[in-house]
Amino acid sequence: MSQKDIIILGIESSCDDTSAAVLKNSAILSNLIARQEIHESYGGVVPELASRAHQQNIIPVVDEAIKKAGITKEEIDAIAFTRGPGLMGSLVVGTSFAKAFSLAMNIPMIDVNHMIGHVLAHFIDDEGKDKPEFPFICLTVSGGHTQIVLVEDYLKMKVIGTTIDDAAGEAFDKAAKLLGFPYPGGPLIDKHAKLGDPKRFQFSKPQIQGYDYSFSGLKTSILYFLQKQTKENPAFIEENKDDLCASIQSTIIDILFKKLLKATRDLNIKQVAIAGGVSANSGLRTALQETGKKEGWKVFIPKFEYCTDNAAMIAITGKYMFEKELFADQSCAPTARYSMENIGN
């Protein structure tokens, strides 16, 4: 190993996935994720169960990530962990683990903002793929957030648009629940949407000022529509599942793109990325490519494994913070709400 190599262990435990990754410079050596299936039957993440599952999973997942990376723990230069935003009981598991590991190994710990992690996933080495240049716009869409982010540098970001109620992932999951899918339903809507007609059903779209979003009206509009239709025909959902999924998905994408287009045109930015769990959606990925062609954008779409929650994105963010010596200390506490602006300032 040359003198300049930096090895970072990343830990992610903000919601219901326990993940550990090993990063060497900008390349991922391992990225392991333990998913918690326990929440499926509850129709959403149960915080207390998530916290307990993280406690059970964290040590085996870290062990396996180190083994798979082919390194020893003595080679790790720093541990980066998600400090927030997220569920308190989940965050505390990753934070406590990072503190103990940092103390035991006598290495720095780095407190990473999960949302910055989603954006910086674009800077993980991926053969043949370009990385965005600054400034660029990133549409960050997950189960908890929907943001238009102006990315001026690795650790300098401005949230110029956000949702005033539900996140895009929540809109997918809540619509999926109404259709009878288990949690999280977003990927199932995606799967059925591929077989359906996106123009078959129309749902209401919000009229919100600026670059902000709203998704709660859409959920209500789907609910009322389904109530009316199933009264007349109890098998309506089953008989129209694919078209319903395609129509719901295309409505969510239309809502997302209306504001994304406005922001890129107003700011005259031609480099556009997507990030977060919903960026795994095939319709959204295609829409970005097609809109990008029309608008003359250079577009950036993350690898599937770096879309939904993962520790690789925490490790790469840790690397940029390590270079600036932005370290946390043992008094660092997890935080459920955590602004991604002004990191290190």
Q: Is 280 in the site for ligand KG4 (CB under 6 A)?
A: yes
Residue nearest ligand KG4 (C-beta atom): 277
Q: Is 169 in the site for ligand KG4 (CB under 6 A)?
A: yes
CB 131 to ligand KG4: min, Å: 20
**Between residues 102 and 146, which has the closer beta carbon with respect to Zn ion?**
146
Residue 107 vs residues 64, 104, 221: alpha-carbon distances, Å:
20, 8, 52
Q: Near ligand KG4 by CB under 6 A, which window of 37-45, 69-77, 277-285, 330-338? A: 277-285
CB 142 to Zn ion: min, Å: 4
CA–CA–CA angle 249, 253, 255 (5° rounding): 120
CB 220 to ligand KG4: min, Å: 18
Q: What is the CA radius of gyration of the chain?
A: 20
State how far the Cα of 316 lies from the Cα of 250, in Å rounded to an integer.
32
Specify the 3-state DSSP secondary structure of 275. Answer: strand
Q: Segment 118-157, which members bind Zn ion (CB under 5 A)?
A: 142
Instruction: Give the per-residue contact string, 84-123, with ligand KG4 (x = CB under 6 A; - = no).
Output: ----------------------------------------
Q: Is 147 in the site for ligand KG4 (CB under 6 A)?
A: no
Name the percent of the chain in helix, strand, coil, to the closest 5.
45, 20, 35
**Between residues 44 and 198, which has the closer beta carbon with respect to Zn ion?**
44
Q: How many residues does the chain have?
A: 345
Query: In the beta sheet, which residues pair with residue 112?
Result: 82
Two tokens, residue 129: 């793929």
Q: Is 148 in the site for ligand KG4 (CB under 6 A)?
A: no
Q: Near ligand KG4 by CB under 6 A, which window of 92-100, 166-174, 213-221, 290-298? A: 166-174
Q: Is 19 in the site for Zn ion (CB under 5 A)?
A: no
Specify the 3-state DSSP secondary structure of 208. Answer: coil
Query: What does 85 interact with, of Zn ion, ligand KG4, none (CB < 5 to 8 A by kind)?
Result: none
**Between residues 101 and 181, which has the closer beta carbon with respect to ligand KG4?**
181
State how far the Cα of 230 lies from the Cα of 223, in Å rounded to an integer.
11
Q: With contacts defined by CB under 6 A, how many residues of the chain interact with ligand KG4?
A: 18
State how far the Cα of 222 lies from the Cα of 203, in Å rounded to an integer.
7
Q: Near ligand KG4 by CB under 6 A, which window of 21-29, 68-76, 121-129, 169-177? A: 169-177
Q: Is 277 in the site for ligand KG4 (CB under 6 A)?
A: yes
Q: Near ligand KG4 by CB under 6 A, which window of 28-36, 94-102, 156-164, 185-193? A: 185-193
Residue 155 vs residues 15, 315, 341: alpha-carbon distances, Å:
23, 14, 8
Q: Is 166 in the site for ligand KG4 (CB under 6 A)?
A: no
State how far the Cα of 107 lies from the Cα of 223, in Å rounded to an integer.
52
Contact 161, 213 (CB under 8 A): yes
Specify the 3-state DSSP secondary structure of 80. Answer: strand
> Shortest CA distance to 18 belongs to which of 45, 70, 56?
56
Q: Is 309 in the site for Zn ion (CB under 5 A)?
A: yes
Residues that bind Zn ion (CB under 5 A): 142, 309
